[in-house]
Chain A
């Protein structure tokens, strides 16, 4: 709603119309809060509309809630998300099979079943699999949804509850008083707030720095390819061979993986999300994963930009420098968890704590002693180019 109807503020302002921000806003609106989401482009134009749709995050304290909520989301939101339960991971080598062990242990550790499959069982469940399969794992709790439809479902459901979304509006700064953020400055004016949620994805570092907190993130580009539709497999959530992805409900195979290029903090996000010649390498691994799909045509590709924290885990916490500001970055694994993330954040706002999950591993303070050269240490740097060399010389 670009016509704000003269309303210049909200009890809760959410910066970022991705799944994290929209889900938080929707849960808050369900609880009766007055919410405004400010998005610089269109909802879901960032990673939230460009991801693999996977929802199987057994490492996370939000896993049980992720799995509890997804099957209800269409009903709760009133719009389809295309959520499909279950996940199969297929291995094409013993080494790949070995790598699945952590997932099996995690899932069982969270109290849910995980079943090892032999090659024949995989082929029975995955019609596109070939003779190169050595085995796999079947997760009853797991699944996938359509990212773009899910984003729109959150947005519409939020509006249905009276929440507001301001698109094509960039947050440019903050006004503070007494250790709190009292207003948000945007390209469309200033908006007062009682509580601020920063769910700005790749912009997390820049915006939190404006509030004098350092939330360490580095931004990268990741890409996927899509084929024309194939008859539906009984379970669409199948991946392996170091690819992630799914067969969509329409039947397309949408898969990604590979080396992901690290970006500089000031790379323009739009310019930085081209797909690349890597598409053919993804295709090679996909053809190996599904030998029976070799004849099917690749018709599209896309790329998205995502942020990672040094340990690859979310930060969901109050900012030490602004007591009414909550920061939420999902460190590149935020789509599937979003129903649970939003609920947890809404509880942090309304009750001060989350009553269904232990969020201590999401604290910002864990990076208190971070080596300032953490990006260099990890090699999370953009490839050097001739231009850079020339500049250095």
Chain B
């Protein structure tokens, strides 16, 4: 394989087509359609169990995905090796600690089996995902992310929701609301904590359809039954107003999205926090070159903005630029280094204030047992108190005296530390629903700007894979011959009393 493109959204498809046009051998992988069981775990998006039964039929979903974007057929025709339903879960490049690798490889899986493929250059176009928001009842089926909702509606044609309340009034919220409306769904309301709608024009268009935008308002609770959300309680931030109920079967969270940088982090590319580009993003130049020669990022995973949300052509153009640069590298036989790094996006896209406003509003309505991390059942008081999980004693006096503030007193706190102590983000959804919320809580509790907090690490496999599917089928002889439980140092486990003076070990080894 020469050029690997991960992600068949606007950026990835444009990149693959451009590279094919330039005569380069391209493999394009996309994890959609995602296995229904994985969707149930809210991987890779927060699907909130609102995918219809049709998603169990993988071949039907394959057709739906291919039909959703005509450029997929175009890519097939252009000779791109398109692999749908294949996820990339690891990206490994030769470097210190990985010198045994002779070439760059990507870990791929179709859910039943797993394999590696080598490549000469790669363009990561892995898109965005939604950030979660822990208000009471957000664990109910029916609470989902806007990217998940948009994907189910548009790419899978398998969104079950009928009556939808949307949290957020930015470009993601309005563009999904319009699509849902056009698809015959009822959009009950857009709810916005800020005093004014963020995407004013979009909200005006929605108002014309009779969709209200409730500003200065927060969902204080979602209630329902085993089928999920039945209604939500809305509360204006001005507490004197009475709460009111709205019936709905779905709450779509459009409070913020995050660039999907998992593979870039696993590969070791430089990642920095740029609030005006959606949070943690790879540090790239204008052609999408990352800090690692031969590795490119394009589209939403290289930075999210309102402009990109409403106009896919921006991401596509990034894809084409990256492809042109990658093809030039390949033709030249060696990758050219990264040029000037893009530092800032548009100030109006800055997520720091908007995301903090949402997380603060959620913190204000949270119950003591509202789980920020659903997988590991970690609540806000658990996070603030750095409390050990429930299976451990939690009431020892010294432990009770510890909290985020005392931890911060010992120096800059790393979210991985909070993860290790509270288990927030340690579960099967791999932290996708809680990661940014935990960052925001950490930032607030320790008085640290979001951008000063180090990136919590991502780990391969960045998709949960069953042991049976993940495991190698066989072990090559050379590996078997070199396999050690530990280092296999001769004499290391000999009892100490046979070596009255250690010097004797030297003679024996």
Chain A positions within 8 Å of B381 at CB level: none
Chain A residue at smallest Cβ distance from B473: A284
**B467 to chain A: which residues have CB within 8 Å?**
227, 283, 286-287, 293-298
Contact A260 B484 (CB under 8 A): yes
Whether the Cβ atoms of A365 and B503 lie closer than 8 Å is: yes
A301's partner among B417, B459, B494 (CB-CB below 8 A) is: B459
A50 CB → nearest B CB, Å: 10
Tell me whether A80 and B392 are in contact (CB under 8 A): yes
Partner among A155, A332, A367 whose Cβ is within 8 Å of the Cβ of B506? A367
Which residues of chain B come closer than 8 Å to A196, judged between CB atoms? none
Q: Does A109 contact B (CB under 8 A)?
A: yes
Shortest beta-carbon distance from A368 to chain B in Å: 7
Of the candidates B376, B414, B495, the one whose C-beta lies within 8 Å of that of A109 is B495
**Does A362 touch B at the CB level, under 8 Å?**
yes
In the complex, residue of chain A having the shortest beta-carbon distance to the beta carbon of B92: A277
Interface-lining segment among B96-104, B210-218, B335-343, B437-445: B96-104
| A31 on interface, CB distance cutoff 8 Å | no
Q: How far is the CA of A60 from the CA of B500 in the complex (A)?
A: 12
Shortest Cβ distance from A45 into B: residue: B414
Q: Is the CB of B509 within 8 A of A250?
A: no
Q: Is the CB–CB distance between B486 and A244 below 8 Å?
A: yes
Q: How far is the CB of A308 from chain B (nearest CB, A)?
A: 6
Whether a CB of chain B sits under 8 angstroms from the CB of A390 is: no
A149-B388, A311-B505 given; A300·B459 CB < 8 A: yes
Mask, A324-338, CB within 8 Å of B = 1, is: 000000001100000
- Give bound CA distance, A102 to B468, whole Å: 33
Residue in A closest to B411 when the chains form the complex, CB atoms: A167
Chain A residue nearest in CB terms to B386: A152
Which of B114, B423, B486, B497 has most chain A Cβ within 10 Å? B486
Which of these binds chain B: A21-29, A176-184, A267-275?
A: A267-275
Interface presence of B499 (CB below 8 A): yes
Most buried by A among B97, B101, B410, B420: B97
User: Does A9 reach chain B (CB closer than 8 Å)?
Assistant: no
List chain B residues, Cβ under 8 A from A201: none
* A295 and B466 in contact, given A106-B493, A311-B492, A385-B94 (Cβ under 8 angstroms): yes
Does B464 interact with chain A (Cβ within 8 Å)?
A: yes
A68 adjacent to chain B (CB < 8 Å): no
A204 to chain B, nearest CB (A): 16
Give CA–CA (A174, B266) in the complex, Å.
Answer: 36
Map CB proximity to A onto B408-445 as digits: 1 under 8 Å, 0 otherwise.
01111010010011010011101000000000000000
The segment from B61-69, B125-133, B314-322, B397-405 that touches chain A is B397-405
Contact of A300 among B409, B430, B479 (CB under 8 A): B430
On whether the beta carbons of A49 and B98 are closer than 8 Å, the reply is no
Contact assessment for B420 and A313 in the assembled complex, using a CB-CB cutoff below 8 Å = no
In this complex, which of A103, A298, A370 has the most chain B Cβ atoms within 10 angstroms of its Cβ? A298
Of the candidates B391, B411, B484, the one whose C-beta lies within 8 Å of that of A168 is B411
With contact pairs A42-B414, A106-B495, A257-B483 given, residues A279 and B501 touching in the complex (Cβ less than 8 Å): no
Closest chain-B Cβ to A141's Cβ sits at a distance in Å of 14
> A259–B479 contact, CB under 8 A?
yes
- A221 part of interface (Cβ distance < 8 Å): yes
Q: A273 contacts B502, CB within 8 Å? A: no
Give Cα distance in the complex from A2 to B79, angstroms: 58
Shortest Cβ distance from residue B477 to the other chain A in the assembled complex, whole angstroms:
13
Chain A residue nearest to B468 in the complex (CB) = A294
CB neighbors of B among A227-259 (8 A): 227-228, 239, 242-244, 249-250, 257-259
A276 touches B101 (CB 8 A): yes
Instruction: Verify B465–A298 contact, CB threshold 8 A.
Output: yes
Q: Could you tell me if B506 and A311 are in contact, using CB atoms closer than 8 angstroms?
A: yes
A292 to B491, CA, bound (A): 34
A210 within 8 A of partner (CB): no
Chain B residues in 8 Å Cβ range of A368: 503
User: Whose C-beta in chain A lies nearest to the C-beta of B95?
Assistant: A271
Contact of A228 among B410, B428, B483, B489 (CB under 8 A): B428
Q: Name the one of B96, B412, B421, B501 contacting A268, with C-beta atoms under 8 angstroms.
A: B96
Q: Please, which residues of chain B bring their CB within 8 A of the CB of A273?
A: 97
The answer for the CA separation of A284 and B471 in the assembled complex, in Å, is 4
- Kindly supply a per-residue 1/0 record for chain A positions 187-219, scoring 1 wherever the CB is within 8 Å of any chain B CB and 0 otherwise: 000000000000000000000000000000000
Cross-chain contact of B471 among A239, A272, A286, A386 (Cβ < 8 A): A286
Task: Judge whether A7 is part of the interface by a CB distance below 8 angstroms.
Answer: no
> What residues on A are CB-neighbors of B492 within 8 Å?
59, 311-313, 333
- The distance in angstroms between the C-alpha atoms of A160 and B402, with both chains bound, is 11
Q: Which of B409, B420, B430, B487 contacts A299 (CB 8 A)?
A: B430
CB-based contact B487/A332 at 8 Å = yes
In the bound assembly, the distance between CA atoms of A156 and B489 in angstroms comes to 35
Residues of A within 8 A of B494 (CB): 59, 102
Which residues of chain A from 147 to 183 have any CB-CB distance to chain B below 8 Å in the complex?
Answer: 148-149, 152, 155-157, 159-160, 165, 167-168
Q: Is the CB of A279 within 8 A of B461?
A: yes
Those of B475-491 within 8 Å (CB) of chain A: 475, 479, 482-487, 489, 491
Task: Judge whether B468 and A287 touch: CB under 8 Å.
Answer: yes
A1 at interface, CB cutoff 8 A: yes
Give the dominant DSSP class at B's interface. Answer: loop
Count residues of chain B with CB under 8 A from any CB of chain A.
79
Q: Compute how far the CA of A107 lies from the CA of B147 in the bound complex, rounded to whole angstroms.
A: 57
Structural contact, A2 and B97, CB atoms closer than 8 A: no
A310 at the interface (CB under 8 A from B): yes
The answer to whether B393 and A261 have CB atoms under 8 Å apart is no
In the assembled complex, how far is the CB of residue B117 from the closest CB belonging to chain A, in whole angstroms?
Answer: 11
A382 to B95 alpha-carbon distance, docked (Å): 11
The reply on A361 being an interface residue by CB < 8 A is yes
Pairwise interchain contact B428-A299, C-beta atoms closer than 8 A: yes
Complex contact B466–A276 (CB within 8 A): no
Task: State whether the Cβ of B344 lies closer than 8 Å to any Cβ in chain A.
Answer: no
A66 located at the interface, meaning its Cβ lies under 8 Å from any Cβ of chain B in the complex = no
Q: How far is the CA of A221 from the CA of B491 in the complex (A)?
A: 21
- Residue of A49, A167, A303, A362 near B502 (CB, 8 A) is A362
The yes or no answer to B44 lying at the interface (CB within 8 A) is no
What residues of B have a CB within 8 angstroms of the CB of A3 in the complex?
409
Partner of A312, one of B389, B487, B497, B504: B487
Distance in angstroms from B343 CB to nearest chain A CB is 23
User: How long is the Cα–Cα vector from A42 to B456 in the complex, in angstroms?
Assistant: 14
CB <8 Å contact, B479 and A298: no
Residue contact A220 to B487, C-beta cutoff 8 Å: yes
Docked-complex contact A332 and B486, CB < 8 angstroms: yes
A72 in the interface, Cβ–Cβ < 8 Å?
no
CB within 8 Å for A259 and B484 given contacts A42-B414, A167-B411, A280-B470: yes
Q: Are B506 and A366 in contact (CB under 8 A)?
A: yes
Please state if A311 and B98 are interface contacts (CB–CB under 8 Å): no
Question: Is A121 part of the contact surface with B, judged by Cβ < 8 Å?
Answer: no
Q: Are A78 and B96 in contact (CB under 8 A)?
A: no
Query: Chain A 45-70, CB within 8 Å of chain B: the 1/0 string?
Result: 00001000000001111000000000
Instruction: Say how far A177's CB is from chain B's closest CB, in angstroms.
Output: 30
A363 interface residue per 8 A CB criterion = yes
Decide: B97 and A261 in contact? CB cutoff 8 A.
yes
Are A276 and B489 also in contact (CB < 8 A) when A228-B427, A281-B479, A300-B459 are?
A: no
Listed by A's residue number, 24 A-B pairs whose Cβ atoms lie within 8 Å are A59-B493, A59-B496, A78-B398, A102-B493, A156-B398, A159-B410, A160-B398, A259-B484, A261-B100, A268-B96, A275-B90, A276-B98, A277-B116, A280-B107, A280-B471, A280-B472, A283-B470, A284-B471, A286-B467, A293-B467, A301-B459, A312-B487, A333-B486, A361-B499
* Additional pairs, 14, CB under 8 Å, beyond known A277-B92, A298-B461, A313-B502: A80-B396, A258-B479, A260-B484, A274-B266, A280-B107, A284-B471, A295-B468, A299-B464, A300-B426, A311-B491, A358-B496, A361-B501, A365-B503, A382-B99
Q: Enumerate the 7 nearest inter-chain pairs by beta-carbon distance, A residue then B residue, closest first.
A: A366-B502, A312-B492, A312-B489, A272-B97, A167-B411, A148-B420, A78-B398
